[in-house]
Amino acid sequence: MAHGTPSSIDQMPEYLQLVRGGRPPSMELIEEMRHNYLAIGGRSPLTDITLAQAAALRNRLGPNVPVAVGMRNWKPFISVPMAPQFSTLSVQKYIDAATSTLPAGVELEAVQSFHAHPTLVEAFAERVRAAEPRPDELVIFTAHSLPVRVIEAGDHYADEVHTTARLVAERAGVTRYRQAFQSAGRTPEPWIGPEIEKVIDDESGNGCRKFLVVPIGFVCDHTEVLFDIDIQAARTAREFATSFRRTESLNTSPTFISLLEELARSRL
């Protein structure tokens, strides 16, 4: 199960209304998101990559275990939520959406979190090692932000993100890193931080000139990676005359697909 993305920018109003729980989006928000999608080629690869991940998992599990793909905010409407860290605002809503559509007599056994699974940690560590971090390069682990009120209500998402960052750093041999959040919603309430742009600002002020971003809150390329990191955060880095690059997303990494197989088989 994944978040979902529109097939074209013409479908942006319908998509944003689903994301907002039925509340119509403003024209300002629609145009902003259309601009973001156009900046990465007009559409997000999320659906294509999720389908490719499902195909790779299907090959691992064999013909006797059906594998399907569902989207929370797009078609097919809706179980392994494609988000490593659990949150009541994301993963739990995926599970609720899937549960609400179950036919009589069918049960759902959902994976809630795999943020500290050794195979996930290794999959991210492989991407870090492949990037060959330089001695003078600061690694920034990033994940999607959440409203502060959700964390204050007892959600453990931020703790799980910190744990993933620590474990990946240890596995990859990274001794100097920061953990940041990104992609905060367009709402007036406060969201958890520090934002990745603030980390770049603070660290460049401390003399850091090189950054390597590792998006540990996401398992494939989509707008939060291709626009929010590759375009928006990179622009901030350029403003401070610093170098900026990102590790490759997991996408169909064989190690990540092995993780999905392990998660599925553990519940068969």
Q: pTM to 2 decimals?
A: 0.88
Q: For residue 63, give Cα distances in angstroms to 58, 107, 258, 262, 266.
A: 7, 21, 17, 16, 17
**Number of neighbouring beta carbons within 10 Å of residue 50:** 23
Interval 158-212: pLDDT, tens: 999 999 999 999 999 999 999 999 999 988 999 999 999 999 999 999 999 999 9
- Measured in whole angstroms, how far is the alpha carbon of residue 102 from the centre of its chain? 26
Averaged over 121-133, what is the pLDDT? 98
Q: Is the Cβ–Cβ distance between 8 and 42 less than 8 Å?
A: yes
Tokens of 36: 């973001």
Interval 44-90: pLDDT, tens: 999 999 999 999 999 999 988 889 887 777 665 446 888 999 999 99
